[in-house]
């Protein structure tokens, strides 16, 4: 069986588009589904710029075929807003902490940080750093990103409403 | 207040600048809606890609696209002969008497010779990525390999294969100040050291990318990830069309660091659009970028430092050899920066410096944050650290003793015209650091060290740098700023809004900055050389001040009040007994034929072009000074180094946006730590072995600690409100801070970068378990 | 960019996958997690004509313990292996080693079978399987066979697998009480390929080392079991381990951009000693909360 088209629910919308069998999920999202917030950074799964959630788990979309996730739910950074479109604790923390400079790593960072926070384990700054080792940022020096995740963790633990849940 | 007075405003008079405002671009970047150059994907867009040489030195014997054009979906394959003017050439001032193009040129597509692995030979244009890949593989190029040279010192020796017909010496700079011979004869201590830095890659997360099209006027538009929209002029020259018929747009750039200062995709996109008349997209792969994009100059530095027993440095004898790679790009200027910065932030009365850069068949080297001023920090800060050690003096005290002060003259002849807070930065880091670290176990050794530096901001003065900006009111009182600045994520555009907002008392959400468009914005110049805050910041400042004066002047004349009594307050022009809402003030201007917009041009400081023997009253506008402190722990069994703590202090003059300033410092330090410990472009006879992120090791969050930032504000920078540039200065000290800290920990000094675990093991005493 | 088209076929089950491999011949590659293969395709180092995707088959996903063996399906992801209570109870060494593999994104997709079949000399799981004396169940869709871990890897990227064979499961003997374990690795950055690694299992009695197993990774063309070192350790106390581990024989480290052969040789000894000492401490119960099985 060789699917030429796949149907993937992207940020809550079912999308059906050609996958050619060989298209990576990253290319399928960017070229077929018009979802351009996951980025091409390296093509090898190392840099984190292409990270998306597949059924809630972070993957490197450049090294997953669209055909492999036919029928799955994919969430990108753009889909991490609250159902009403407002930014959740993580996005607001990124904003306050100045965790964004050029912004190219930001979508992948948000996706991976969301998954990390969803695990529910309380993490200190060093543990956050170690968990983020797979997300390269060349601009910020990482400190503000760690601060943002720490702040969001704190807010979520304090029981603030909702969170950066996939929509 | 006059412009000059406002420019040096005291901190407590400022209300919008110095605020840690979240930047305007952040919201879209967090929402994922920012459209970078490669995010524009339309059906029907063509794809363009390059066929590159797999070998570093060869004659091209045959080129044939016959099979390639048969691939379904291929539109065209271009060779060098298809390019109307197939070369770019480089200004190499100082190597002739005037500022004039030297015969340092490079082909857009190589025709008879390739000089580095990755040099472009053919441009393929196709309907799909897949057709592009297949056709690229079918372009036939036969190479006859020729002997190459891969070390700059070997390249400068007799009998070396010439990379270019005119020989392998690209540029040299000499400094002779005072009497070096006498200094060394009278010295109480002479320290000798040889240091080597490696080629490193910018590794911006966004690879080179862009889209090109012809608009309804037939103007060639390029929307590309670039630091320099002015390259539209180079593109026009290559195509042989009027400069006014090319437009370059720089959207938000996903990292530049100097790697997008030269043209990357521009000439190829332009050729593809010009040839096909269609919309074309080009995106370089990461391996392509790592292989072929210009790198930071590796440098070998030999230092001899003469000192008195009280730690005063009385002389430096320095030799620098840099690898320019296969093409000149900006190598001569990088070497110039190295030469001017080579003695560091210290008074050095007697100097002999010889700096040379040589062509090799390695990948070309060009601009990278620090631009030659970075590599020499390893040299001068290792040397002064060693001087302090051998004399048994505290390293901070020795640096303070030698620190430049306002009024001192650099070896090149430039007078330091602004306050130097170097001693205060030293005190700040030492005080913050507290007690020194200790090893966490029996097989661990801990160490601490500091490193200071100076780094210029603003371009070389004889380049007659200028930046322009337009500022105007909309009738409702909102403000539009048009300025060609390129925003790399350092808040370049946001800062302009803060500056305009300060002068007009307009809140951030009422100001829009249109930037990065060579056709629609006044030219602001490059986002390089830590110049944008100085240049476009001042341009916006001056344009806004002129606009403010126009409007206040019109109101003053209308009301018969002295203009000095009027000012802009939030929402209104106010004065004694007067509160005129801004829209009414603007309507008043229109009635009185007073424009509600202004164009301002800021001209950088001037100077005379240098000659090869460097002696100049002024080379750069000014410098930024700082000191870093680093604690490390060394694993004595494996040689691995962990950075325990890092503190960076800089005098930034005035922090326009403190969050941006801290971000620049933090990011630069981590790049510096990467070069100190991890990153290396590994070349084997010109073949790049690290063309992937598995091999080219960029620091991750797990590799570095929190960077503690201390910001000092002397108020004496040449930028708006007394700011200094801060983009580049923090990147250099980590090289020496880490090397000096390891020296402190294990007793031997690493002198070759990167400081790998193996190199650390080699520094350990031979008795180890 | 390298975006070469290839054909894609999703297999319904493992026998169908094997049949597809036979049908397509040399140009076919197996796609499970894809975390080794797809990067290679993306940078032009691999150019298969057909990918046979087994990532969605229902089989080979279980982790079970019975009759003194832990059985791990080939399609178990690294994340699942790390999270498995059954695996941790039976042999914590497995999850501890798997935690060093790449990043969370990689571990969410990468599979045990994929890692073993790819056979990178620096990979973590082949090293621990070798130390544990595991064996692998292979199938060609028609018949099964069992191969010991030590014999499965032949050289770099080359294993016993025939072109139409797939891994089904790994069978790991569950060691009894008194055994301690350790996994040590040196890499340039967290998650990078190991420059060298060591997996050790030690059984002590009354403070004396009775039995040891030691395997190293990253210092030869595949994981190596150091039987000579194991033999030399019998009867040692923990303090005597370092002295009894002499220069490591039977390894052939290489020089690459990560490290030189000499440095890897140096690490081989350092990590062997560290792993043995730590395993010994766990066996003695002196590493808190991590008593061996």
Mean pLDDT confidence for C81-91? 97
For residue B607, the model assigns a pLDDT of: 79
How far apart CA A74 and CA A61 sit, in angstroms, is: 10
How far apart CA B244 and CA B233 sit, in angstroms, is: 8
For residue A164, the model assigns a pLDDT of: 46
For residue B605, the model assigns a pLDDT of: 83
For residue B95, the model assigns a pLDDT of: 46
Tokens of B472: 């105007």
pLDDT band at residue B12 using 50, 70 and 90 as cut-offs = low
How far apart CA B74 and CA B70 sit, in angstroms, is: 7
Q: B131-145, B173-187, B461-475, C218-232: which has the minimum mean pLDDT?
A: B461-475
- Locate the domains of chain A by residue range: 5-77, 80-157
Q: Does B54 touch chain C (CB under 8 A)?
A: no
For residue B65, the model assigns a pLDDT of: 98
Interchain CB distance below 8 Å, B700 and A136: yes
Q: A6-10, B363-367, B629-633, C175-179: which has the minimum mean pLDDT?
A: C175-179
How far apart CA B343 and CA B331 sit, in angstroms, is: 20
Interchain CB distance below 8 Å, C189 and B637: no
Distance from CA of A39 to the nearest CA of C (A): 14
Mean pLDDT confidence for B574-590? 96
List the single residue in B with minimal CA-CA distance to C260.
B758
The fold of A80-157 is: DNA polymerase; domain 1 (1.10.150)
Q: What is the ipTM of this complex?
A: 0.95
Distance from CA of B489 to the nearest CA of A (A): 4
Which residues make Cβ contacts (< 8 Å) with residue C121, sequence separation at least 6?
A: C156, C217, C218, C220, C221, C222, C223
For residue B722, the model assigns a pLDDT of: 92
Interchain CB distance below 8 Å, C7 and A21: yes
CA-wise closest residue to B350 among B513, B500, B184? B184
- Which residues of chain C are at the B interface, by a Cβ-Cβ cutoff of 8 Å? 1-5, 39, 43-44, 186, 188-193, 242, 256-260, 262-263, 266-267, 270, 274
Secondary structure class of B305 (helix, strand, coil): strand
- The b/e string for B559-585 (b: 16+ C-beta within 10 A; e otherwise) is bebeeeebebeeebbbbeeeebebbeb
CA-wise closest residue to B561 among B545, B547, B579? B579
Which of B27, B488, B706 faces A95 most closely, judged by CB atoms? B27
Which of B255, B663, B704 faces A98 most closely, judged by CB atoms? B663
Average pLDDT, chain B: 93
Report the run of H or E that residue B457 belongs to, with start and end: strand B444-457
List the single residue in A with minimal CA-CA distance to C12.
A1
pLDDT band at residue B22 using 50, 70 and 90 as cut-offs = low
| pLDDT at position B272 over 60 | yes
- Locate the domains of chain C by residue range: 7-53, 63-173, 179-283
CATH number for C179-283: choose from 3.30.160.100, 3.40.50.1000, 3.30.390.50, 1.20.1440.80. 3.30.390.50
Helix, strand, coil percent content, chain C, rounded in steps of 5: 35, 25, 40
**Matching fold, domains B37-146+208-283 and B363-458+619-763:** no
How far apart CA C154 and CA B394 sit, in angstroms, is: 58
- Give the pLDDT confidence of B63-95 residue by residue, as tens digits: 999 999 999 999 999 999 999 999 987 665 544
Interchain CB distance below 8 Å, B761 and C258: no
Q: Does B212 touch chain C (CB under 8 A)?
A: no
Please state the pTM of the whole predicted model. Answer: 0.95
CA-wise closest residue to B722 among B417, B415, B507? B417
Which of B39, B202, B667 faces A140 most closely, judged by CB atoms? B667
Interchain CB distance below 8 Å, C267 and B638: yes
How far apart CA B143 and CA B156 sit, in angstroms, is: 26
DSSP string over B349-418? SEEEEEEEEEE-SSPPB---TTTTTTHHHHHHHHHHHHHHHHHT--HHHHHHHHB--TT-B-TTSPBP-S
Return the residue in A2, A5, A21, A70 with the most chain C beta carbons within 10 A, the one to mutate for interface testing.
A21
DSSP string over C151-214? HHEEETTEES--TT-EEEEEEEEPP-TTEEEEEEEE-SSTTSPPSEEEEEEEEEETTEEEEEEE
Interchain CB distance below 8 Å, B769 and C259: no
- Give the pLDDT confidence of B436-449 residue by residue, as tens digits: 999 999 999 999 99
φ/ψ of B66, rounded to 5, equals: -55, -45
Largest interatomic CA distance in chain C: 62
The fold of A5-77 is: Ubiquitin-like (UB roll) (3.10.20)
Interchain CB distance below 8 Å, B283 and A40: yes
Pairing of strands B641-651, B683-684: unpaired
| pLDDT at position A43 over 70 | yes
For residue B618, the model assigns a pLDDT of: 86
pLDDT band at residue B529 using 50, 70 and 90 as cut-offs = confident
| pLDDT at position C101 over 70 | yes
Q: Does A3 touch chain B (CB under 8 A)?
A: no
Q: Does A59 touch chain C (CB under 8 A)?
A: yes
Q: Does A85 touch chain B (CB under 8 A)?
A: no
CATH architecture of C7-53: 2-Layer Sandwich (3.30)
| pLDDT at position B2 over 70 | no
pLDDT band at residue B99 using 50, 70 and 90 as cut-offs = very low
With a pLDDT cut of 90, the percent of chain B lying above it is: 83
For residue B766, the model assigns a pLDDT of: 64
Q: Does B668 touch chain A (CB under 8 A)?
A: yes
Which of C6, C39, C56 faces A22 most closely, judged by CB atoms? C6
How far apart CA C63 and CA B655 sit, in angstroms, is: 58
| pLDDT at position B530 over 60 | yes
Return the residue in B34, B701, B708 with the most chain A beta carbons within 10 A, the one to mutate for interface testing.
B701
The fold of B363-458+619-763 is: Aldehyde Oxidoreductase; domain 4 (3.30.365)
Which residues of chain C have a CB within 8 Å of the CB of A60?
35, 105-106, 109
Angle between helices A89-96 and A143-157 (to 10 degrees): 140
CB atoms near residue B91 (< 10 Å): 17
- Locate the domains of chain B by residue range: 3-34+466-603, 37-146+208-283, 363-458+619-763
With a pLDDT cut of 70, the percent of chain C lying above it is: 97
How many CB pairs lie under 8 A apart between chains A and B? Answer: 172
How far apart CA B35 and CA A107 sit, in angstroms, is: 12
Report the run of H or E that residue B158 belongs to, with start and end: none
Interchain CB distance below 8 Å, C186 and B690: no
CA-wise closest residue to B688 among B294, B416, B300? B294
- The b/e string for B150-176 (b: 16+ C-beta within 10 A; e otherwise) is bbbeebbeeebeebbeeebebbbbebe
Strand partners, B483: B515
Q: ∠C20-C58-C122 over CA atoms, to 5°?
A: 75
φ/ψ of B232, rounded to 5, equals: -55, -30
The CATH classification number of B37-146+208-283 equals 3.90.1170.50
Return the residue in C2, C8, C57 with the most chain A beta carbons within 10 A, the one to mutate for interface testing.
C8
| pLDDT at position B11 over 90 | no
CATH architecture of C63-173: 2-Layer Sandwich (3.30)
C16: left (phi over 0), alpha (psi -120 to 50) or beta: alpha
List the single residue in A with minimal CA-CA distance to C44.
A43
Q: Give the torsion sign (CA, A55, A60, A62, A67).
A: negative
pLDDT band at residue B4 using 50, 70 and 90 as cut-offs = very low
Strand partners, C51: C8, C29
For residue B98, the model assigns a pLDDT of: 38
Return the residue in B694, B704, B705 with the most chain C beta carbons within 10 A, the one to mutate for interface testing.
B694
How far apart CA B374 and CA B674 sit, in angstroms, is: 13
Which residues of chain C have a CB within 8 Å of the CB of A22?
3-8, 51
Q: Does B4 touch chain C (CB under 8 A)?
A: no
Which of A3, A45, A51 faces C39 most closely, judged by CB atoms? A45
Which residues of chain A have a CB within 8 Å of the CB of B250?
none
User: Exposed, middle or buried, C256 (CB in 10 Å: 0-12/13-18/19+)?
Assistant: middle
- Give the pLDDT confidence of A17-29 residue by residue, as tens digits: 998 889 999 999 9
The answer to whether the CB of B547 falls within 8 A of the CB of B473 is yes
DSSP string over C221-241? SS-EE-HHHHHHTTT--GGGH
- Give the pLDDT confidence of A47-88 residue by residue, as tens digits: 999 999 999 999 999 999 999 999 999 999 999 988 888 899
List, in sequence order, the alpha helices (H) in B508-579: 532-559
The fold of B3-34+466-603 is: Aldehyde Oxidoreductase; domain 4 (3.30.365)
For residue B461, the model assigns a pLDDT of: 85
- Give the pLDDT confidence of B152-165 residue by residue, as tens digits: 999 999 999 999 98
CA-wise closest residue to C116 among C82, C72, C84? C72
How far apart CA A32 and CA A18 sit, in angstroms, is: 7
Secondary structure class of B613 (helix, strand, coil): strand
For residue C289, the model assigns a pLDDT of: 45
Q: Does A82 touch chain B (CB under 8 A)?
A: no
pLDDT band at residue B721 using 50, 70 and 90 as cut-offs = confident
How far apart CA A129 and CA B629 sit, in angstroms, is: 21
Interchain CB distance below 8 Å, B130 and C190: no
Pairing of strands C50-53, C28-31: parallel
For residue A4, the model assigns a pLDDT of: 79
Average pLDDT, chain C: 94
Interchain CB distance below 8 Å, A63 and C103: no
Strand partners, B77: B124
For residue B468, the model assigns a pLDDT of: 94
Which of B39, B692, B703 faces A36 most closely, judged by CB atoms? B39
| pLDDT at position B46 over 80 | yes
Interchain CB distance below 8 Å, B49 and C1: yes
Which residues of chain B have a CB within 8 Å of the CB of A104?
36, 204-206, 254-255, 489
Distance from CA of C151 to the nearest CA of A (A): 30
User: Exposed, middle or buried, C290 (CB in 10 Å: 0-12/13-18/19+)?
Assistant: middle
Q: Does A115 touch chain C (CB under 8 A)?
A: yes
Interchain CB distance below 8 Å, B697 and C3: no
- Give the pLDDT confidence of A118-132 residue by residue, as tens digits: 999 999 999 999 999
φ/ψ of B473, rounded to 5, equals: -90, 140
């Amino acid at each position: 069986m060789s699917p030429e088209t796949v149907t993937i629910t992207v940020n809550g919308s079912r999308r059906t588009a050609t996958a050619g069998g060989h298209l990576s999920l990253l290319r399928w999202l960017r070229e077929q589904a018009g979802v351009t917030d996951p980025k091409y950074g390296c093509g090898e799964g190392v840099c984190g710029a292409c990270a998306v959630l597949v059924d809630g788990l972070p993957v490197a979309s450049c090294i997953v075929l669209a055909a492999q996730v036919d029928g799955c739910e994919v969430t990108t950074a753009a889909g991490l807003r609250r159902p009403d479109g407002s930014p959740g604790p993580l996005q607001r923390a990124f904003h306050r902490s100045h965790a964004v400079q050029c912004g190219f790593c930001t979508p992948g960072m948000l996706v991976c940080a969301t998954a990390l926070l969803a695990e529910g384990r309380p993490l200190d700054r060093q543990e956050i750093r170690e968990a983020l080792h797979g997300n390269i940022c060349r601009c910020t020096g990482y400190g503000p990103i760690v601060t943002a995740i720490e702040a969001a963790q704190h807010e979520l633990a304090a029981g603030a409403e909702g969170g950066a849940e996939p929509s | 207040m006059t412009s000059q007075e406002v420019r040096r405003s005291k901190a407590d008079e400022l209300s919008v600048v110095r605020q840690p405002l979240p930047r305007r671009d952040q919201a879209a970047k967090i929402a994922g809606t920012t459209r970078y150059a490669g995010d524009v994907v339309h059906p029907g867009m063509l794809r363009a890609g390059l066929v590159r040489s797999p070998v570093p030195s060869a004659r091209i014997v045959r080129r044939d696209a016959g099979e390639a054009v048969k691939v379904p979906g291929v539109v065209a394959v271009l060779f060098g002969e298809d390019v109307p003017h197939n070369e770019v050439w480089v200004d190499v001032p100082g190597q002739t008497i005037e500022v004039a193009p030297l015969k340092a040129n490079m082909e857009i597509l190589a025709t008879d010779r390739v000089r580095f692995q990755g040099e472009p030979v053919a441009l393929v244009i196709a309907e799909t990525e897949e057709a592009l890949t297949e056709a690229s593989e079918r372009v036939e190029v036969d190479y006859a390999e020729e002997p190459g040279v891969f070390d700059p010192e070997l390249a400068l020796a007799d009998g070396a294969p010439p990379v270019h017909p005119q020989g392998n010496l690209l540029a040299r700079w000499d400094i002779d100040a005072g009497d070096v011979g006498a200094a060394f004869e009278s010295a109480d201590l002479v320290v000798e050291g040889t240091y080597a830095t490696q080629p490193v890659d910018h590794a911006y997360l966004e690879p080179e990318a862009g889209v090109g099209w012809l608009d309804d006027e037939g103007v060639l538009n390029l929307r590309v990830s670039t630091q320099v929209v002015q390259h539209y002029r180079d593109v026009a020259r290559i195509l042989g069309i009027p400069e006014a018929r090319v437009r370059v747009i720089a959207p938000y750039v996903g990292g530049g660091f100097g790697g997008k200062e030269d043209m990357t995709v521009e000439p190829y996109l332009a050729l593809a659009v010009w040839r096909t008349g269609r919309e074309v997209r080009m995106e370089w792969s990461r391996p392509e970028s790592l292989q072929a994009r210009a790198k930071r100059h590796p440098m070998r530095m030999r230092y001899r430092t003469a000192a008195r027993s009280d730690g005063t440095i009385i002389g430096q004898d320095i030799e620098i050899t840099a690898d320019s790679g296969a093409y000149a790009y900006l190598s001569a200027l990088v070497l110039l920066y190295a030469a001017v910065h080579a003695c560091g932030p210290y008074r050095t009365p007697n100097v002999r410096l010889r700096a040379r850069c040589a062509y090799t068949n390695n990948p070309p080297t060009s601009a990278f944050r620090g631009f030659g001023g970075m590599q020499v920090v390893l040299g001068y800060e290792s040397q002064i650290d060693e001087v302090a050690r051998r004399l048994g003096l505290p390293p901070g005290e020795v640096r303070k003793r030698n620190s430049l002060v306002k009024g001192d003259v650099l070896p090149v002849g430039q007078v330091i015209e602004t306050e130097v807070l170097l001693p205060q930065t030293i005190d700040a880091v030492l005080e913050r650091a507290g007690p020194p670290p200790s090893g966490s176990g029996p097989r661990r050794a801990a160490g601490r060290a500091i490193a200071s530096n100076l780094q210029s901001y603003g371009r070389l003065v004889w380049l007659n740098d200028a930046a322009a900006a337009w500022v105007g009111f909309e009738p409702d009182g909102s403000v539009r700023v048009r300025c060609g600045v390129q925003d790399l994520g350092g808040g370049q555009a946001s800062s302009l809004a803060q500056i305009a907002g300060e002068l007009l008392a307009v809140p951030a959400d009422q100001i829009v900055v249109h930037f990065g468009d060579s056709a629609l914005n006044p030219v602001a110049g490059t986002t390089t050389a830590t110049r944008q805050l100085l240049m476009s910041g001042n341009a916006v400042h001056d344009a806004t001040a002129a606009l403010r004066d126009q409007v206040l002047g019109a109101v003053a004349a209308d009301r018969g009040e002295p203009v000095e009594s009027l000012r802009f307050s939030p929402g209104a022009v106010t004065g004694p007994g007067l509160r005129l809402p801004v829209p009414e003030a603007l309507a008043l201007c229109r009635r009185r034929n007073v424009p509600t917009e202004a164009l301002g041009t800021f001209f950088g400081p001037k100077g005379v072009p240098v000659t090869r023997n460097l002696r100049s009253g002024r080379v750069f506008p000014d410098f930024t000074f700082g000191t870093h402190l680093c604690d490390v722990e060394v694993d004595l069994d494996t040689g691995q180094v962990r950075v325990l703590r890092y503190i960076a202090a800089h005098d930034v003059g005035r922090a326009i946006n403190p969050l941006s300033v801290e971000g620049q410092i933090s990011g630069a330090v981590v790049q510096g730590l990467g070069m100190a410990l991890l990153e290396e472009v590994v070349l084997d006879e010109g073949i790049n072995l690290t063309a992937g992120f598995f091999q080219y090791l960029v620091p991750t969050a797990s590799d570095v600690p929190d960077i503690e930032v201390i910001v000092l504000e002397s108020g004496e920078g040449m930028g708006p409100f007394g700011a200094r540039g801060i983009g580049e200065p923090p990147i250099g000290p980590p090289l020496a801070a880490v090397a000096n800290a390891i020296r402190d920990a294990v007793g031997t000094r690493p002198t070759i970068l990167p400081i790998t675990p193996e190199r650390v093991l080699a520094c350990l005493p031979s008795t180890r378990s | 960019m390298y975006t070469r088209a290839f054909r894609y076929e999703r297999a319904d089950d493992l026998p169908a996958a094997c049949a597809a491999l036979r049908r397509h011949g040399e140009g076919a590659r197996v796609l499970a997690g894809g975390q080794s293969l797809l990067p290679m395709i993306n940078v032009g180092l691999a150019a298969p004509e057909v990918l046979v995707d087994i990532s969605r088959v229902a089989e080979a996903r279980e982790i079970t313990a019975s009759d003194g063996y832990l059985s791990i399906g080939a399609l178990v992801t690294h994340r699942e292996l790390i999270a498995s209570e059954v695996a941790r109870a039976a042999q914590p060494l497995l999850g501890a080693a798997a935690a060093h593999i790449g990043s969370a994104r990689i571990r969410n997709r990468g599979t045990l079978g994929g890692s073993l079949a790819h056979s990178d000399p620096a990979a973590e799981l082949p090293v621990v399987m070798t130390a544990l004396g595991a064996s692998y169940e292979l199938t060609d869709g028609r018949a099964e066979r069992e191969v010991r871990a030590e014999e499965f890897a032949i050289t770099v990227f080359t294993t016993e697998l025939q072109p139409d064979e797939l891994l089904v499961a790994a069978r790991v003997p569950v060691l009894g009480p008194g055994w301690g374990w350790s996994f040590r690795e040196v890499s340039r950055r967290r998650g990078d390929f190991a420059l060298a690694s060591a997996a050790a299992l030690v059984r002590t009695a009354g403070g004396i080392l009775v039995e040891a197993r030691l395997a190293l990774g990253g210092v030869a063309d595949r994981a190596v079991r150091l039987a000579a070192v194991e033999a030399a350790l019998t009867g040692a106390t923990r303090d005597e381990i370092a002295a009894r581990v002499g220069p490591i024989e039977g390894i052939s480290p290489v020089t690459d951009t990560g490290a030189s052969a000499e440095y890897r040789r140096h690490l081989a000894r350092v990590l062997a000693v560290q792993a043995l000492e730590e395993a010994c401490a766990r066996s003695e119960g002196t590493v808190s909360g991590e008593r061996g099985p």
